[in-house]
Amino acid sequence: MRSLLLYFFAGIILVSCKNNTNEDYINIMGFTQGTTYSITYDSPDKKNYQPEIETLLAEFDTSLSTYNKLSVITAINSNISNRTDDYLKTVFTSAQEISKLTNGAFDVTVGPLVNAWGFGFTKKEQITQAKIDSILEFVGYNKVKLENDSIIKDDPRIKIDMNAIAQGYAVDVVAGFLEKQNIENYLVEIGGEVRTLGLNPKKEAWKIGIDKPVDNNNSPGENLQAIVHLTNKSLATSGNYRKFYEQDGVKYSHTINPQTGYPVNHSLLCVTVIANDCMTADAFATAFMVLGLENSIELIDQHPELEAYFVYSDKEGRFNVKSTPGIDEIIEEVE
């Protein structure tokens, strides 16, 4: 998941949970999996579910954390075992489906390339074309599959990580827990990924702010691009303006194209995706950052179940916005 791999999420800040005026709503906050979470929900009986939620998140961590030496995914990456559990099986299945839909722009085997470029959890390597070619030998979503609850690799060097989808799935898992408690109004946010149901304490749609994608805008909420009014939907944002480095006058972004092995270099600065579930929004946001603006628009036109808000730069470096029709009804631009 993004936080487990120190993936710096593109800026989303909640703007509707402050100053609760409805005493039936409970807000709980904390730390999980290397990031923060904030959950607000309607609870007329004043039941605080924070202990149960933190237990659930800890269990989730034992499945999908590449930092947990005893996790299910670590055992698979180390070739100790190839057995999955329900969490890994669910997220892997969804990831592979989205990989096919995006023609490999989304790929859970891209981690070794991310590490080589210095955006993962290992030291940056000396990049040469030969080095990239050698890594590409064991990168590719079609080189790994799920068979009888086991992960089967074409090459033992293949490593899977869910940094671009599992955090969204964690949001869905917590949301599912709340719905089992018959909660009808909630907002679940983990590391910037969001899922909503019903209305906020003011009986309005939940409001989520999207940060302006300017370099080094590291204080969420101080410089907003737009505010989304969201209900019964999920939202995820991905961007290149916070995690990058410059070397010899060249800017390298953390978004790596799994097919070329190189950081992407295009005009798309960030994209916000709205979907029914957060796992889907999370994965497509990453895929669109790989594809770039034109290819993303072409793809999303084929998926009316998705909405997207793209911020890109023109030749003069000015910000421009392009969005799907449904976004116009729920977004508020910030001057």
Q: Encode pLDDT of 309-324 as tens digits.
A: 999 988 877 889 999 9
Percent of the chain scoring above 70 in pLDDT = 86
The confidence score (pLDDT) of residue 240 equals 73
| Residue range 83-129, pLDDT digits in tens | 999 999 999 999 999 999 999 999 999 989 988 877 766 677 788 99
The confidence score (pLDDT) of residue 271 equals 94
| Residue range 234-278, pLDDT digits in tens | 999 988 755 544 554 544 457 889 999 998 888 898 899 999 999
| Residue range 272-313, pLDDT digits in tens | 999 999 999 999 999 999 999 999 999 999 999 999 999 998
Give phi and psi for 325, each to the nearest 5: -55, -40
Those residues with Cβ within 8 angstroms of residue 326's Cβ, 6 or more apart along the chain or in another chain: 274, 307
Partner residues linked to 119 by β-bridges: none
Partner residues linked to 210 by β-bridges: 12, 226
pLDDT band at residue 334 using 50, 70 and 90 as cut-offs:
confident
Specify the higher pLDDT residue, 18 or 127: 127
DSSP readout, 244-298? EEEETTEEEES-B-TTT-SB--SSEEEEEEEESSHHHHHHHHHHHHHH-HHHHHH
Torsion on CA atoms 219, 220, 222, 223, rounded to nearest 10: 110
Asked whether the beta carbons of 332 and 226 are under 8 A apart, the reply is yes
Q: Is residue 36 pLDDT above 80, yes or no?
A: yes
CB atoms within 10 A of CB 177: 16
Average confidence score pLDDT of the chain = 87
Looking at the chain, list the stretches that DSSP marks H as alpha helix, in order from N- to C-terminal side: 50-64, 72-77, 86-101, 111-116, 129-136, 166-180, 278-291, 293-300
Q: Is residue 5 pLDDT above 50, yes or no?
A: no
Residue ranges covered by each domain of the chain: 58-153
Specify the higher pLDDT residue, 156 or 249: 156
| Residue range 133-148, pLDDT digits in tens | 999 999 999 999 999 9
Structure tokens at 191: 């590391």
CATH for 58-153, options being 1.10.10.10, 1.10.3980.10, 1.10.510.10, 3.20.190.10: 1.10.3980.10
d(Cα 262, Cα 255) in Å, to the nearest integer? 8
Give phi and psi for 53, each to the nearest 5: -65, -40
The confidence score (pLDDT) of residue 253 equals 54
| Residue range 61-78, pLDDT digits in tens | 999 998 899 999 999 999
Average pLDDT over residues 36-52: 94
**Sign, CA torsion 82/87/93/95:** negative
